[in-house]
Amino acid sequence: MNPFDRYQFESLSLKGDLSILSATHEPDNFPHREEQISRMADAMSSLLMGMKSTHLILYGKTGTGKTSVTKFVTSKLSEKIPDRIRVCYINCQNYDSPYSIMVNIARTVLGPERIPQMGWTLDRIYEYLVDGLKGCQKNIIIVLDEVDKLVEKNGGDSLYLLLKITDESQGISGSIIGITNDTSFYEKLDPRVRSRLNKESIVFPPYNSEQLRDILLPRIKAILPEDYYDESAVNLCAAIGAQEHGDARKAIDLMRVAIELTMRDSAKKITNDYVYKARDNLEIDIMRETIKTLPTHSKIVLLSVILCGEIHPNSATTGEVSAIYNKLCKQVGITPLTQRRISDYLSDLEDFGLISTTLKSLGRYGRTRLIRITGRENDMKRYALEDQDLKTLSEIKQNRQYKLDENL
């Protein structure tokens, strides 16, 4: 028997390809982003006449369309003047030094064979790039996605040389489009950079649930006949996306997973239940990935919070968590860290959303931090115990023993 037979998907016959709901799909229609698209086009329109364009900074929370709208608008500009423009898209999460960015731009504009990946100085690459641009009379748009990562890592003047490429005095027209989630990004820049960055800011606000519905529906209609989905299931995806700070990515992911789960069950219709199941699946996936990448000590701290919560259901204190942490370290043969480092790990776990803490006043005895986990304890425990170094702990079942068995 072929193990893939059960994925025949006979229940739903798709009109189109599910990839329309994937991260790589690049739509050519963006409901509720008309204003942003038109302002970006306005700002870049001077490039059509070979004149300098203003730099842009796009702000907005995750999943609000910044990257995809930028790719769309710049590709439309390239369609208009294919011989006169080069667009370099750089994700500063992957290329996070001015050097690697400069190499990348030079290779995109002048061809990879002309610039070695390393060996040249930054100045040499810069000169070569500027000469090359002048020689071929090209305008340049440099998209710096997640630009806050670049500045965070390299300091407030790391944009300086990149801005210089697009400077009028060089005889080249160009502009930089910086994309960020960080509303204080501009303030963090070096004054020297700020004065060069005569920018226009465009905000991508979070979507509300009606707007997310308008984004979802055309994609769903392209792949599914109407009687294959409940309208309320679409509304539910949109509502959950809106709750998650107006995130279109979340709404689209939910719909894709809901369709996959419906097919796997050979069911006939995408209902609210499948959307709820999809939400659980996505949340578990994220939690598992987050826990998997934690350092071992951090996983032990997390396990300690979980075990402590089982003993003290109404929230554990830092002291109680530390006591269990020390016991667990002893059991796996790892030297325990200081109280201070444990507190750092607790803060990290809180940043990842795995635990939540509240401060409780103890009157004249000061204050204490009460700690709780935020997800399902059994799932969290299972994922933390997937760590090779924590194998000896996989016997943890009944946790009250940590309170009773002082010899551990």
Query: What does the binding site for ligand ATP look like in residue numbers (CB under 6 A)?
Result: 23, 27, 30-33, 60, 62-68, 181, 215, 248-249, 252
- Of the pair 92, 220, the CB lying nearest Mg ion is at 92
39, 74, 147 from 92: Cα distances, Å:
24, 18, 6
Residue nearest to ligand ATP (CB): 65
- Of the pair 67, 166, the CB lying nearest Mg ion is at 67
Tokens of 159: 């944009």
CB of 64 to Mg ion, least distance (A): 9
d(CA 220, CA 279): 18
- Of the pair 53, 64, the CB lying nearest ligand ATP is at 64
Rg (CA), the chain: 26
CB of 160 to ligand ATP, least distance (A): 25
d(CA 324, CA 332): 13
| Residue 68 contact, options ligand ATP, Mg ion, none, Cβ 5-8 Å cut-off depending on partner type | ligand ATP
| Residue 33 contact, options ligand ATP, Mg ion, none, Cβ 5-8 Å cut-off depending on partner type | ligand ATP
CB of 65 to Mg ion, least distance (A): 8
d(CA 152, CA 130): 26
Of 364, 349, 358, which is closest to residue 294 (Cα–Cα)? Answer: 349
d(CA 390, CA 334): 10
CB of 215 to ligand ATP, least distance (A): 4
- Of the pair 215, 380, the CB lying nearest ligand ATP is at 215
- Of the pair 30, 160, the CB lying nearest ligand ATP is at 30
- Of the pair 20, 370, the CB lying nearest ligand ATP is at 20
CB of 77 to Mg ion, least distance (A): 19
CB of 52 to ligand ATP, least distance (A): 26
Tokens of 71: 């790719």
- Report the C-alpha dihedral over residues 99, 103, 105, 109, rounded to 10 degrees: 160
> In sequence order, what DSSP letters do the residues of 46-70 get, joined into one string?
GGGGT----EEEEEE-TTSSHHHHH
| Residue 242 contact, options ligand ATP, Mg ion, none, Cβ 5-8 Å cut-off depending on partner type | none
String of contacts with Mg ion for each residue 56-75, x by CB under 5 A: -----------x--------
| Residue 249 contact, options ligand ATP, Mg ion, none, Cβ 5-8 Å cut-off depending on partner type | ligand ATP
Residue 336's Cβ-count burial label (10 Å; 0-12, 13-18, 19+) is middle
Note whether 257 and 282 are within 8 A (CB).
yes
Phi, psi of 3 (to 5 degrees): -60, -15
End-to-end distance of the chain based on CA atoms, in angstroms?
50
CB of 89 to Mg ion, least distance (A): 11
The DSSP 8-state label assigned to residue 270 in this structure reads B
- Of the pair 175, 180, the CB lying nearest ligand ATP is at 180
d(CA 269, CA 238): 18
| Residue 336 contact, options ligand ATP, Mg ion, none, Cβ 5-8 Å cut-off depending on partner type | none
| Residue 272 contact, options Mg ion, ligand ATP, none, Cβ 5-8 Å cut-off depending on partner type | none
User: At CA 390, angle to CA 310 and CA 293, rounded to 5?
Assistant: 90
| Residue 155 contact, options Mg ion, ligand ATP, none, Cβ 5-8 Å cut-off depending on partner type | none
139 counts as binding Mg ion under rule CB under 5 A: no
- Of the pair 143, 390, the CB lying nearest ligand ATP is at 143
CB of 83 to Mg ion, least distance (A): 29
Strand partners, 283: none
Q: Contact positions toward Mg ion, by CB under 5 A?
A: 67
